[in-house]
Structure 1
Protein backbone atom coordinates (compact mmCIF):
# COMPACT_ATOMS: atom_id res chain seq x y z
CA UNK A 1 0.00 0.00 0.00
CA UNK A 2 1.22 3.48 -0.82
CA UNK A 3 -0.08 6.66 0.74
CA UNK A 4 0.74 10.33 0.39
CA UNK A 5 0.33 10.81 4.13
CA UNK A 6 3.38 9.81 6.12
CA UNK A 7 2.89 11.39 9.53
CA UNK A 8 -0.83 11.95 10.18
CA UNK A 9 -0.62 9.74 13.27
CA UNK A 10 2.85 10.70 14.48
CA UNK A 11 3.18 9.81 18.16
CA UNK A 12 -0.41 8.54 18.48
CA UNK A 13 -1.49 5.50 20.47
CA UNK A 14 -3.98 3.54 18.40
CA UNK A 15 -6.28 0.59 19.11
CA UNK A 16 -7.66 -1.49 16.24
CA UNK A 17 -10.13 -4.30 16.80
CA UNK A 18 -10.69 -7.10 14.31
CA UNK A 19 -7.09 -6.42 13.36
CA UNK A 20 -5.89 -9.98 12.75
CA UNK A 21 -7.09 -9.88 9.15
CA UNK A 22 -9.04 -7.96 6.54
CA UNK A 23 -9.94 -4.33 7.07
CA UNK A 24 -8.60 -4.21 10.63
CA UNK A 25 -5.19 -5.55 9.64
CA UNK A 26 -4.99 -3.05 6.76
CA UNK A 27 -5.79 -0.22 9.17
CA UNK A 28 -3.16 -1.41 11.67
CA UNK A 29 -0.55 -1.44 8.92
CA UNK A 30 -1.50 2.02 7.70
CA UNK A 31 -1.53 3.58 11.15
CA UNK A 32 1.94 2.19 11.81
CA UNK A 33 3.19 3.37 8.41
CA UNK A 34 1.86 6.86 9.15
CA UNK A 35 3.76 7.25 12.39
CA UNK A 36 1.63 5.85 15.21
CA UNK A 37 3.78 5.41 18.30
CA UNK A 38 2.04 2.16 19.15
CA UNK A 39 -0.69 0.14 17.46
CA UNK A 40 -2.61 -2.24 19.69
CA UNK A 41 -3.79 -5.14 17.52
CA UNK A 42 -6.96 -6.61 19.03
CA UNK A 43 -8.72 -9.75 17.84
CA UNK A 44 -10.36 -12.90 19.14
CA UNK A 45 -7.78 -14.81 17.06
CA UNK A 46 -4.83 -14.09 19.33
CA UNK A 47 -2.23 -15.93 17.23
CA UNK A 48 -3.10 -14.10 14.03
CA UNK A 49 -3.21 -10.82 15.95
CA UNK A 50 0.31 -11.56 17.17
CA UNK A 51 1.53 -12.00 13.61
CA UNK A 52 0.11 -8.62 12.54
CA UNK A 53 1.48 -6.95 15.68
CA UNK A 54 4.93 -8.34 14.96
CA UNK A 55 4.72 -7.01 11.42
CA UNK A 56 3.82 -3.46 12.49
CA UNK A 57 5.84 -3.34 15.71
CA UNK A 58 2.68 -3.23 17.80
CA UNK A 59 1.15 -5.12 20.70
CA UNK A 60 -1.32 -7.98 20.31
CA UNK A 61 -4.35 -8.65 22.52
CA UNK A 62 -6.66 -11.66 22.30
CA UNK A 63 -10.06 -10.21 23.20
CA UNK A 64 -13.70 -11.05 22.47
CA UNK A 65 -15.38 -7.64 22.09
CA UNK A 66 -18.70 -9.21 23.14
CA UNK A 67 -17.23 -9.61 26.66
CA UNK A 68 -17.53 -6.26 28.50
CA UNK A 69 -15.08 -7.25 31.24
CA UNK A 70 -12.45 -8.22 28.68
CA UNK A 71 -12.87 -4.93 26.83
CA UNK A 72 -12.62 -2.97 30.07
CA UNK A 73 -9.44 -4.81 31.02
CA UNK A 74 -8.03 -4.21 27.55
CA UNK A 75 -8.32 -0.43 27.78
CA UNK A 76 -7.10 -0.37 31.36
CA UNK A 77 -3.99 -2.27 30.27
CA UNK A 78 -3.39 0.03 27.30
CA UNK A 79 -3.75 3.22 29.33
CA UNK A 80 -1.56 1.71 32.01
CA UNK A 81 1.16 0.92 29.48
CA UNK A 82 0.98 3.96 27.20
CA UNK A 83 -0.74 6.59 29.31
CA UNK A 84 -3.36 7.46 26.70
CA UNK A 85 -5.48 6.38 23.75
CA UNK A 86 -5.71 8.70 20.74
CA UNK A 87 -7.29 6.63 17.97
CA UNK A 88 -9.69 3.69 18.11
CA UNK A 89 -10.84 1.82 15.02
CA UNK A 90 -13.48 -0.79 15.73
CA UNK A 91 -13.46 -3.22 12.81
CA UNK A 92 -14.37 -6.40 14.69
CA UNK A 93 -17.53 -8.07 13.46
CA UNK A 94 -18.98 -11.37 12.32
CA UNK A 95 -21.33 -12.70 9.66
CA UNK A 96 -23.40 -15.88 9.47
CA UNK A 97 -22.14 -18.60 7.10
CA UNK A 98 -25.21 -20.75 7.83
CA UNK A 99 -27.58 -18.05 6.60
CA UNK A 100 -25.35 -17.53 3.57
CA UNK A 101 -25.68 -21.23 2.88
CA UNK A 102 -29.48 -20.96 2.91
CA UNK A 103 -29.29 -18.02 0.50
CA UNK A 104 -27.03 -20.02 -1.80
CA UNK A 105 -29.31 -23.04 -1.64
CA UNK A 106 -32.33 -20.95 -2.66
CA UNK A 107 -30.43 -19.36 -5.54
CA UNK A 108 -29.29 -22.74 -6.85
CA UNK A 109 -32.83 -24.17 -6.70
CA UNK A 110 -34.51 -21.04 -8.05
CA UNK A 111 -36.65 -20.83 -4.91
CA UNK A 112 -37.50 -17.94 -2.59
CA UNK A 113 -35.02 -17.32 0.20
CA UNK A 114 -36.13 -18.80 3.54
CA UNK A 115 -33.78 -17.76 6.34
CA UNK A 116 -35.99 -16.08 8.93
CA UNK A 117 -38.09 -19.16 9.73
CA UNK A 118 -34.89 -21.19 10.24
CA UNK A 119 -32.94 -18.56 12.15
CA UNK A 120 -32.05 -19.83 15.61
CA UNK A 121 -32.07 -17.56 18.66
CA UNK A 122 -28.41 -18.37 19.26
CA UNK A 123 -27.39 -17.09 15.81
CA UNK A 124 -29.45 -13.91 16.23
CA UNK A 125 -27.94 -13.23 19.63
CA UNK A 126 -24.33 -13.97 18.65
CA UNK A 127 -24.48 -11.61 15.64
CA UNK A 128 -25.83 -8.82 17.83
CA UNK A 129 -23.55 -9.66 20.76
CA UNK A 130 -20.46 -9.14 18.60
CA UNK A 131 -21.59 -6.52 16.08
CA UNK A 132 -23.78 -4.33 18.30
CA UNK A 133 -22.89 -5.09 21.92
CA UNK A 134 -19.23 -5.23 20.97
CA UNK A 135 -19.47 -1.75 19.46
CA UNK A 136 -21.11 -0.46 22.63
CA UNK A 137 -18.37 -2.00 24.79
CA UNK A 138 -15.60 -0.50 22.65
CA UNK A 139 -17.23 2.93 22.45
CA UNK A 140 -17.81 3.08 26.20
CA UNK A 141 -14.27 2.11 27.16
CA UNK A 142 -12.68 4.24 24.43
CA UNK A 143 -14.56 7.31 25.65
CA UNK A 144 -13.60 6.59 29.25
CA UNK A 145 -9.95 6.37 28.21
CA UNK A 146 -9.98 9.40 25.90
CA UNK A 147 -11.77 11.84 28.19
CA UNK A 148 -8.83 11.93 30.52
CA UNK A 149 -6.39 12.57 27.68
CA UNK A 150 -8.14 15.51 26.08
CA UNK A 151 -9.99 13.73 23.30
CA UNK A 152 -9.39 11.50 20.32
CA UNK A 153 -10.98 9.92 17.26
CA UNK A 154 -13.08 6.77 17.04
CA UNK A 155 -14.15 5.08 13.80
CA UNK A 156 -16.65 2.22 13.82
CA UNK A 157 -17.24 -0.09 10.88
CA UNK A 158 -20.87 -0.50 9.93
CA UNK A 159 -22.14 -1.80 6.62
CA UNK A 160 -23.94 -0.73 3.48
CA UNK A 161 -26.17 -3.73 4.26
CA UNK A 162 -27.86 -1.46 6.80
CA UNK A 163 -29.31 0.48 3.84
CA UNK A 164 -29.29 -1.95 0.92
CA UNK A 165 -30.34 -5.04 2.83
CA UNK A 166 -29.54 -8.46 1.41
CA UNK A 167 -32.54 -10.79 1.33
CA UNK A 168 -32.06 -13.47 3.96
CA UNK A 169 -29.71 -11.51 6.22
CA UNK A 170 -32.01 -9.79 8.76
CA UNK A 171 -29.79 -10.30 11.80
CA UNK A 172 -26.66 -8.92 10.13
CA UNK A 173 -28.48 -5.94 8.57
CA UNK A 174 -30.21 -5.03 11.83
CA UNK A 175 -26.98 -5.30 13.83
CA UNK A 176 -25.17 -2.95 11.46
CA UNK A 177 -28.05 -0.46 11.26
CA UNK A 178 -27.92 -0.35 15.05
CA UNK A 179 -24.17 0.26 14.93
CA UNK A 180 -24.80 3.33 12.77
CA UNK A 181 -27.45 4.73 15.13
CA UNK A 182 -25.40 3.96 18.23
CA UNK A 183 -22.30 5.61 16.78
CA UNK A 184 -24.18 8.73 15.71
CA UNK A 185 -25.86 9.11 19.10
CA UNK A 186 -22.53 8.74 20.89
CA UNK A 187 -20.91 11.18 18.45
CA UNK A 188 -23.32 13.94 19.47
CA UNK A 189 -22.71 13.26 23.14
CA UNK A 190 -18.93 13.01 23.26
CA UNK A 191 -17.88 15.77 20.86
CA UNK A 192 -18.10 18.02 23.92
CA UNK A 193 -15.16 16.07 25.34
CA UNK A 194 -13.11 16.53 22.18
CA UNK A 195 -13.86 13.01 20.94
CA UNK A 196 -14.96 12.55 17.34
CA UNK A 197 -16.95 9.44 16.39
CA UNK A 198 -17.63 8.48 12.78
CA UNK A 199 -18.60 5.34 10.87
CA UNK A 200 -17.58 3.75 7.59
CA UNK A 201 -20.25 1.67 5.84
CA UNK A 202 -18.51 -0.67 3.38
CA UNK A 203 -20.14 -2.51 0.55
CA UNK A 204 -18.63 -5.84 -0.49
CA UNK A 205 -14.95 -6.03 0.50
CA UNK A 206 -12.55 -8.76 -0.59
CA UNK A 207 -11.77 -10.22 2.84
CA UNK A 208 -11.90 -13.64 4.47
CA UNK A 209 -15.50 -12.91 5.48
CA UNK A 210 -16.42 -12.23 1.86
CA UNK A 211 -14.65 -15.42 0.80
CA UNK A 212 -17.25 -17.38 2.77
CA UNK A 213 -20.02 -15.90 0.63
CA UNK A 214 -21.21 -18.32 -2.08
CA UNK A 215 -20.29 -17.22 -5.60
CA UNK A 216 -23.90 -16.83 -6.74
CA UNK A 217 -24.56 -14.52 -3.79
CA UNK A 218 -21.34 -12.59 -4.48
CA UNK A 219 -22.51 -11.96 -8.04
CA UNK A 220 -25.86 -10.65 -6.85
CA UNK A 221 -24.24 -8.41 -4.24
CA UNK A 222 -21.98 -6.98 -6.91
CA UNK A 223 -24.64 -6.23 -9.52
CA UNK A 224 -24.62 -2.61 -10.61
CA UNK A 225 -21.41 -1.73 -8.83
CA UNK A 226 -19.12 0.64 -10.67
CA UNK A 227 -15.93 -0.77 -9.18
CA UNK A 228 -16.68 -4.27 -7.86
CA UNK A 229 -15.39 -5.58 -4.55
CA UNK A 230 -13.24 -3.12 -2.63
CA UNK A 231 -9.88 -4.01 -1.16
CA UNK A 232 -9.19 -3.82 2.54
CA UNK A 233 -6.62 -1.12 1.75
CA UNK A 234 -9.26 1.06 0.10
CA UNK A 235 -11.38 0.85 3.22
CA UNK A 236 -8.34 1.63 5.35
CA UNK A 237 -7.80 4.87 3.45
CA UNK A 238 -11.36 6.00 4.24
CA UNK A 239 -11.08 4.95 7.87
CA UNK A 240 -7.72 6.63 8.42
CA UNK A 241 -9.05 9.84 6.89
CA UNK A 242 -11.87 9.90 9.44
CA UNK A 243 -9.43 9.10 12.25
CA UNK A 244 -7.04 11.87 11.24
CA UNK A 245 -7.05 15.61 11.88
CA UNK A 246 -7.97 16.09 8.22
CA UNK A 247 -11.51 15.18 9.28
CA UNK A 248 -11.49 17.52 12.29
CA UNK A 249 -14.93 18.92 11.35
CA UNK A 250 -16.50 15.54 10.56
CA UNK A 251 -18.63 14.22 13.43
CA UNK A 252 -21.32 11.54 13.36
CA UNK A 253 -20.86 10.78 9.66
CA UNK A 254 -21.71 7.46 8.05
CA UNK A 255 -19.35 7.34 5.08
CA UNK A 256 -20.50 5.04 2.29
CA UNK A 257 -17.62 3.14 0.72
CA UNK A 258 -19.42 0.81 -1.66
CA UNK A 259 -18.07 1.41 -5.17
CA UNK A 260 -21.19 3.21 -6.32
CA UNK A 261 -23.61 0.36 -5.59
CA UNK A 262 -26.14 2.93 -4.30
CA UNK A 263 -26.34 6.35 -2.65
CA UNK A 264 -28.33 7.60 0.33
Structure 2
Protein backbone atom coordinates (compact mmCIF):
# COMPACT_ATOMS: atom_id res chain seq x y z
CA UNK A 1 0.00 0.00 0.00
CA UNK A 2 1.44 3.37 -1.02
CA UNK A 3 1.38 6.65 0.84
CA UNK A 4 -1.72 8.84 0.42
CA UNK A 5 -0.70 11.65 -1.92
CA UNK A 6 -1.09 15.21 -0.66
CA UNK A 7 0.42 18.48 -1.86
CA UNK A 8 2.55 20.02 0.87
CA UNK A 9 5.72 19.69 -1.25
CA UNK A 10 4.02 19.86 -4.65
CA UNK A 11 6.37 21.09 -7.37
CA UNK A 12 9.47 20.79 -5.17
CA UNK A 13 12.58 18.73 -5.82
CA UNK A 14 14.03 16.77 -2.90
CA UNK A 15 17.16 14.74 -2.33
CA UNK A 16 17.33 12.21 0.51
CA UNK A 17 20.54 10.47 1.52
CA UNK A 18 20.41 7.08 3.20
CA UNK A 19 17.18 6.56 1.28
CA UNK A 20 17.71 2.86 0.70
CA UNK A 21 16.38 1.92 4.13
CA UNK A 22 15.14 3.08 7.52
CA UNK A 23 14.54 6.76 8.19
CA UNK A 24 15.84 7.80 4.77
CA UNK A 25 13.48 5.46 2.91
CA UNK A 26 10.52 6.56 5.02
CA UNK A 27 11.39 10.20 4.38
CA UNK A 28 11.67 9.67 0.62
CA UNK A 29 8.24 7.99 0.58
CA UNK A 30 6.67 10.74 2.69
CA UNK A 31 8.11 13.51 0.50
CA UNK A 32 6.94 11.82 -2.69
CA UNK A 33 3.48 11.27 -1.21
CA UNK A 34 3.30 14.98 -0.47
CA UNK A 35 4.12 16.00 -4.02
CA UNK A 36 7.91 16.23 -4.22
CA UNK A 37 10.00 14.77 -7.01
CA UNK A 38 12.52 12.75 -5.01
CA UNK A 39 16.07 11.60 -5.63
CA UNK A 40 16.71 8.56 -3.42
CA UNK A 41 20.43 8.49 -2.65
CA UNK A 42 22.26 5.61 -0.99
CA UNK A 43 25.64 3.89 -1.00
CA UNK A 44 23.66 0.71 -1.74
CA UNK A 45 22.55 1.37 -5.30
CA UNK A 46 20.03 -1.49 -5.62
CA UNK A 47 18.30 -0.41 -2.39
CA UNK A 48 18.05 3.16 -3.65
CA UNK A 49 16.64 1.87 -6.94
CA UNK A 50 14.06 -0.26 -5.12
CA UNK A 51 12.80 2.71 -3.10
CA UNK A 52 12.82 5.04 -6.12
CA UNK A 53 10.64 2.59 -8.06
CA UNK A 54 7.96 2.95 -5.38
CA UNK A 55 7.81 6.71 -5.82
CA UNK A 56 5.88 8.69 -8.39
CA UNK A 57 8.65 10.17 -10.53
CA UNK A 58 11.34 8.82 -8.24
CA UNK A 59 15.03 8.80 -9.15
CA UNK A 60 17.93 6.83 -7.67
CA UNK A 61 21.59 7.77 -7.29
CA UNK A 62 24.39 5.65 -5.85
CA UNK A 63 26.50 7.84 -3.55
CA UNK A 64 28.92 7.30 -0.69
CA UNK A 65 28.52 10.49 1.37
CA UNK A 66 32.03 10.01 2.75
CA UNK A 67 33.36 10.75 -0.76
CA UNK A 68 33.02 14.48 -1.51
CA UNK A 69 33.35 14.07 -5.27
CA UNK A 70 30.42 11.63 -5.34
CA UNK A 71 28.28 14.00 -3.28
CA UNK A 72 29.08 16.99 -5.48
CA UNK A 73 28.30 15.04 -8.63
CA UNK A 74 24.95 13.89 -7.24
CA UNK A 75 23.84 17.44 -6.47
CA UNK A 76 25.06 18.64 -9.84
CA UNK A 77 23.10 15.82 -11.49
CA UNK A 78 19.88 16.84 -9.75
CA UNK A 79 20.23 20.44 -10.91
CA UNK A 80 21.26 19.39 -14.42
CA UNK A 81 18.18 17.20 -14.77
CA UNK A 82 15.54 19.28 -13.00
CA UNK A 83 17.04 22.75 -12.70
CA UNK A 84 16.53 23.14 -8.96
CA UNK A 85 16.75 21.58 -5.52
CA UNK A 86 14.39 22.66 -2.76
CA UNK A 87 14.73 20.10 0.05
CA UNK A 88 17.60 17.95 1.30
CA UNK A 89 17.22 15.39 4.07
CA UNK A 90 20.54 13.86 5.09
CA UNK A 91 19.76 10.55 6.77
CA UNK A 92 22.84 8.54 5.76
CA UNK A 93 24.87 7.22 8.67
CA UNK A 94 26.64 4.20 10.09
CA UNK A 95 27.02 2.49 13.45
CA UNK A 96 29.69 0.09 14.75
CA UNK A 97 28.34 -3.45 15.21
CA UNK A 98 31.58 -4.69 16.81
CA UNK A 99 31.49 -2.03 19.52
CA UNK A 100 27.82 -2.81 20.14
CA UNK A 101 28.72 -6.47 20.68
CA UNK A 102 31.39 -5.51 23.21
CA UNK A 103 28.90 -3.33 25.09
CA UNK A 104 26.30 -6.12 25.07
CA UNK A 105 28.82 -8.66 26.33
CA UNK A 106 29.64 -6.35 29.23
CA UNK A 107 25.94 -5.93 30.06
CA UNK A 108 25.40 -9.68 30.13
CA UNK A 109 28.46 -10.15 32.32
CA UNK A 110 27.40 -7.26 34.58
CA UNK A 111 30.68 -5.43 34.15
CA UNK A 112 31.61 -2.03 32.72
CA UNK A 113 32.20 -2.00 28.96
CA UNK A 114 35.80 -1.76 27.80
CA UNK A 115 35.75 -0.36 24.29
CA UNK A 116 37.87 2.76 23.92
CA UNK A 117 41.19 1.03 24.56
CA UNK A 118 40.26 -1.66 22.02
CA UNK A 119 38.90 0.69 19.39
CA UNK A 120 40.99 0.65 16.24
CA UNK A 121 41.85 3.64 14.10
CA UNK A 122 39.88 2.29 11.13
CA UNK A 123 36.69 1.85 13.19
CA UNK A 124 37.01 5.42 14.46
CA UNK A 125 37.72 6.83 11.01
CA UNK A 126 34.86 4.93 9.33
CA UNK A 127 32.24 6.31 11.73
CA UNK A 128 33.62 9.84 11.56
CA UNK A 129 34.02 9.82 7.77
CA UNK A 130 30.40 8.85 7.17
CA UNK A 131 28.59 10.54 10.06
CA UNK A 132 30.58 13.77 10.38
CA UNK A 133 32.52 14.25 7.15
CA UNK A 134 29.49 13.05 5.19
CA UNK A 135 27.31 15.68 6.85
CA UNK A 136 29.80 18.37 5.88
CA UNK A 137 29.92 17.15 2.29
CA UNK A 138 26.13 17.20 2.01
CA UNK A 139 25.70 20.60 3.69
CA UNK A 140 28.39 22.15 1.49
CA UNK A 141 26.88 20.73 -1.69
CA UNK A 142 23.40 21.84 -0.66
CA UNK A 143 24.53 25.42 -0.03
CA UNK A 144 26.34 25.57 -3.36
CA UNK A 145 23.05 24.77 -5.07
CA UNK A 146 20.55 26.55 -2.81
CA UNK A 147 22.29 29.77 -1.78
CA UNK A 148 22.38 31.29 -5.30
CA UNK A 149 18.60 30.77 -5.53
CA UNK A 150 18.08 32.25 -2.06
CA UNK A 151 15.83 29.43 -0.90
CA UNK A 152 15.92 25.85 0.37
CA UNK A 153 15.61 23.65 3.43
CA UNK A 154 18.10 21.10 4.73
CA UNK A 155 17.40 18.61 7.50
CA UNK A 156 20.19 16.51 8.99
CA UNK A 157 19.48 13.38 11.03
CA UNK A 158 21.53 13.36 14.19
CA UNK A 159 21.07 11.25 17.31
CA UNK A 160 20.04 11.52 20.93
CA UNK A 161 23.37 9.74 21.56
CA UNK A 162 25.01 13.13 21.16
CA UNK A 163 23.39 14.14 24.47
CA UNK A 164 22.95 10.89 26.44
CA UNK A 165 26.28 9.41 25.40
CA UNK A 166 26.47 5.62 25.52
CA UNK A 167 29.37 4.21 27.55
CA UNK A 168 31.61 2.34 25.15
CA UNK A 169 30.36 4.14 22.04
CA UNK A 170 32.63 7.21 21.89
CA UNK A 171 33.12 7.43 18.14
CA UNK A 172 29.39 7.34 17.38
CA UNK A 173 28.56 9.90 20.07
CA UNK A 174 31.36 12.19 18.92
CA UNK A 175 30.36 11.92 15.27
CA UNK A 176 26.75 12.85 16.00
CA UNK A 177 27.61 15.64 18.44
CA UNK A 178 29.94 17.03 15.79
CA UNK A 179 27.23 16.76 13.16
CA UNK A 180 24.83 18.67 15.41
CA UNK A 181 27.30 21.50 15.99
CA UNK A 182 28.25 21.54 12.32
CA UNK A 183 24.60 21.81 11.27
CA UNK A 184 23.94 24.62 13.73
CA UNK A 185 26.97 26.62 12.64
CA UNK A 186 26.04 26.20 8.97
CA UNK A 187 22.44 27.14 9.81
CA UNK A 188 23.50 30.51 11.19
CA UNK A 189 25.48 31.17 8.01
CA UNK A 190 22.96 29.77 5.54
CA UNK A 191 19.89 31.69 6.72
CA UNK A 192 21.41 34.91 5.35
CA UNK A 193 21.02 33.30 1.93
CA UNK A 194 17.45 32.09 2.49
CA UNK A 195 18.43 28.49 3.31
CA UNK A 196 17.19 26.89 6.54
CA UNK A 197 19.18 24.08 8.21
CA UNK A 198 17.78 22.06 11.11
CA UNK A 199 18.35 18.69 12.76
CA UNK A 200 16.20 15.88 14.10
CA UNK A 201 17.91 13.82 16.80
CA UNK A 202 16.15 10.45 17.10
CA UNK A 203 16.31 8.09 20.02
CA UNK A 204 15.94 4.33 19.48
CA UNK A 205 14.21 3.76 16.14
CA UNK A 206 13.18 0.52 14.42
CA UNK A 207 15.59 0.53 11.49
CA UNK A 208 17.94 -2.02 9.98
CA UNK A 209 20.64 -0.56 12.19
CA UNK A 210 18.51 -1.22 15.26
CA UNK A 211 17.77 -4.74 14.06
CA UNK A 212 21.50 -5.47 14.20
CA UNK A 213 21.73 -4.24 17.80
CA UNK A 214 22.41 -7.15 20.18
CA UNK A 215 19.44 -8.23 22.28
CA UNK A 216 21.04 -7.26 25.59
CA UNK A 217 21.68 -3.75 24.35
CA UNK A 218 18.17 -3.40 22.93
CA UNK A 219 16.77 -4.39 26.33
CA UNK A 220 18.86 -1.63 27.86
CA UNK A 221 17.14 0.93 25.63
CA UNK A 222 13.66 -0.38 26.47
CA UNK A 223 11.77 1.36 29.24
CA UNK A 224 8.06 0.78 29.94
CA UNK A 225 7.73 4.30 31.32
CA UNK A 226 8.37 5.91 27.92
CA UNK A 227 7.27 5.32 24.34
CA UNK A 228 8.67 2.25 22.60
CA UNK A 229 11.15 2.44 19.74
CA UNK A 230 10.03 5.03 17.18
CA UNK A 231 9.08 3.97 13.69
CA UNK A 232 11.05 5.40 10.76
CA UNK A 233 7.85 7.08 9.63
CA UNK A 234 7.53 8.98 12.91
CA UNK A 235 11.03 10.39 12.51
CA UNK A 236 10.36 11.11 8.84
CA UNK A 237 7.32 13.18 9.82
CA UNK A 238 9.54 15.37 12.00
CA UNK A 239 12.03 15.77 9.15
CA UNK A 240 9.22 16.86 6.83
CA UNK A 241 7.95 19.34 9.41
CA UNK A 242 11.44 20.87 9.62
CA UNK A 243 11.67 21.02 5.82
CA UNK A 244 8.24 22.60 5.39
CA UNK A 245 6.87 26.11 5.58
CA UNK A 246 5.30 25.46 9.00
CA UNK A 247 8.85 25.51 10.40
CA UNK A 248 9.80 28.78 8.69
CA UNK A 249 11.09 30.29 11.94
CA UNK A 250 13.17 27.28 12.95
CA UNK A 251 16.85 27.76 12.13
CA UNK A 252 19.59 25.67 13.72
CA UNK A 253 17.11 23.70 15.81
CA UNK A 254 17.96 20.24 17.11
CA UNK A 255 14.66 18.49 17.81
CA UNK A 256 15.10 15.65 20.27
CA UNK A 257 12.80 12.78 19.29
CA UNK A 258 13.48 10.06 21.85
CA UNK A 259 10.04 9.21 23.22
CA UNK A 260 10.67 10.81 26.61
CA UNK A 261 13.83 8.91 27.58
CA UNK A 262 15.47 12.17 28.65
CA UNK A 263 15.26 15.90 27.99
CA UNK A 264 17.93 18.53 27.47
Distance in 1, matches of 2:191 and 2:66, equals 25
* TM-superposition CA deviations, 1:10-49 (whole Å, max 9, x none): 100000000000000000000000011x100000000010
Quote the residue 2:260 is aligned against. Answer: 260
Quote the residue 1:130 is aligned against. Answer: 130
Quote the residue 2:27 is aligned against. Answer: 27
* TM-superposition CA deviations, 1:67-106 (whole Å, max 9, x none): 0011111111111101011000000000000000101111
Q: Which moved more, 1:61-70 or 1:145-154?
A: 145-154
Unpaired runs of at least 5, structure 2: none
Quote the residue 2:189 is aligned against. Answer: 189
Quote the residue 2:80 is aligned against. Answer: 80
Unpaired runs of at least 5, structure 1: none
Is 2:15–2:40's contact at 8 Å kept on the other side of the alignment? yes
User: What pairs with 1:2-151 in structure 2 (closer than 5 Å)?
Assistant: 6-36=6-36, 38-56=37-55, 57-151=57-151
Give 1:223 shift: 3.0
Distance in 2, matches of 1:199 and 1:191, equals 14
TM-score after normalising by structure 2: 0.97
Is 1:225–1:259's contact at 8 Å kept on the other side of the alignment? no
Distance in 1, matches of 2:92 and 2:70, equals 14
Q: Which runs of 4+ in 1 moved over 6 A?
A: 1-5
Distance 1:118 1:229, change over 3 A: same
Distance in 1, matches of 2:118 and 2:212, equals 20
Is 1:16–1:40's contact at 8 Å kept on the other side of the alignment? yes
Tell me the matched-pair count: 263
Alpha-carbon RMSD: 1.5
* TM-superposition CA deviations, 1:170-229 (whole Å, max 9, x none): 000000000100000000001010000000000000000001111111111223651110
Quote the residue 1:161 is aligned against. Answer: 161
Is 2:5–2:33's contact at 8 Å kept on the other side of the alignment? no
